[in-house]
Amino acid sequence: MIKAGIVGGTGYTGVELLRLLAQHPEVELLTITSRGDAGMAVSEIFPSLRGAVNLVFSDPKDAPLEHCDVVFFATPNGIAMQQAGKLLQAGVRVIDLSADFRIKDITEWEKWYAMEHTSPNLVVEAVYGLPEVNRDLIRQARLIANPGCYPTATQLGFLPLIESGCVDLNTLVADAKSGVSGAGRKAEVSSLFSEAGDNFKAYGVSGHRHLPEIKQGLSKAANAPVWLTFVPHLTPLIRGIHATLYARIKRETDFQQLFEDRYADEAFVDILPPKSHPETRSVRASNTCRIAVHRPQGGDVLVVLSVIDNLVKGAAGQAVQNMNIMFNFNELLGLTQIPLLP
């Protein structure tokens, strides 16, 4: 049994962490912090957790984080990089769900996130927490940079093609759509029901913060620079990422078999039969990524469809998966929930 703490527990990823960890047989939830809601019972804000989580939100300065075995940061960008170092010195392992440690090039990170990075030494140490790529490094890590939601769906969809060298690295396209929970729980006009409902729009076409993260992962897999056109869209969904990925064929192979072989031992990646069309609702509330491979009209462009729940495999579920690996638990522990339907 390990003790876990959560910093920043009032957002959507925070409550998703609570939901998953409360059901984990090897985890005791020790503390959860919130400056604005300190002293309030978790179940007051999240009634779905009544009877499952009996904690009260603590002010970060009073929370016994240093007595935890692992601390999750479910905070806005810029917080974990200021606080993780002290916890690591105390022997606590850290899993950061923000973007503070994902991008290895500090100058590039500061360009996209418009702030100075205060812990570049920790960026060097941090392990990028995509288990399907870095499982061995995750097992030994003190600090995990949990991947973003768009990067998870996109990288898992492209990786078999790039690792095998069978597609052109200069013509990759990711056309990705997200539910509104991806924008967080903060109040913004664009996330209001009357703004996001019955609507569909692209955003960040000239550049999105997840682009350098995706390119970094794909370039590492290719051992060469990768050019990617990435266009995100906002859909009138609460949960879900749907990434439609395009790659031009450079070398013929059995592409369906390529994907099946690559993910044969991955419990949370499901390669669907040929001609399938994965739906976001088929992964809702689960840690599963479902993928289908298409070759329209037998042409020279492959289309890969990749779907995840942005709050689970795209955030909290992947963080728990990383925790399981770090502490040598069964990787599926606490993550075997069947997707919700309808």
- Per-residue confidence (pLDDT) for residue 269, from 0 to 100: 98
How confident is residue 193, by pLDDT bands cut at 50, 70 and 90? confident
Q: Please say whether the beta carbons of 94 and 70 come within 8 A.
A: yes
Asked if the model's pLDDT at residue 17 lies above 80, the reply is yes
Find the helix or strand (DSSP H, E) in which 173 lies: strand 172-178
Query: Quick check: helix, strand or coil at residue 312?
Result: helix
- With H, G, I as helix, E, B as strand and everything else as coil, classify residue 180: helix
| Residue whose entry in the numeric block shows the structure tokens 């990749």 | 306
Give the residue from 118, 130, 296 showing the smallest Cα distance to 214: 130
Q: Tell me: the pLDDT tens digits for 226-253?
A: 999 999 999 999 999 999 999 999 999 9
- Residue located via tokens 């266009």: 231
Summarize pLDDT for 24-65 with one digit per residue, the tens. 999 999 999 998 899 999 999 999 999 999 999 999 989 999
Band the pLDDT of 190: cuts 50, 70, 90: confident
State pLDDT tens for residues 58-115: 999 899 999 999 999 999 999 999 999 999 999 999 999 999 999 999 999 999 999 9
Which amino acid is located at 213 in the chain? E
Please give the full DSSP string across 33-64, using - where no structure is assigned: E-STTTTSBHHHH-GGGTTT---B-B-TTTS-
pLDDT of residue 183: 84
- pLDDT band of residue 280 (cuts 50, 70, 90) is very high
The share of the chain scoring above pLDDT 90, in percent, equals 93
Contacts of 33 (CB under 8 A, 6+ apart): 5, 6, 7, 8, 9, 57, 58, 59, 60, 63, 65
**Contact between residue 246 and residue 191 where contact means Cβ atoms under 8 Å apart:** no
Active-site residue flag, 149: yes
Q: Of the residues 68, 149, 166, 289, which is catalytic?
A: 149
Domains defined for the chain, CATH in brackets: 2-125 (3.40.50.720), 149-310 (3.30.360.10)
175 by Cβ neighbours in 10 Å (0-12 / 13-18 / 19+) ranks as middle
The pLDDT of residue 187 is above 80? no
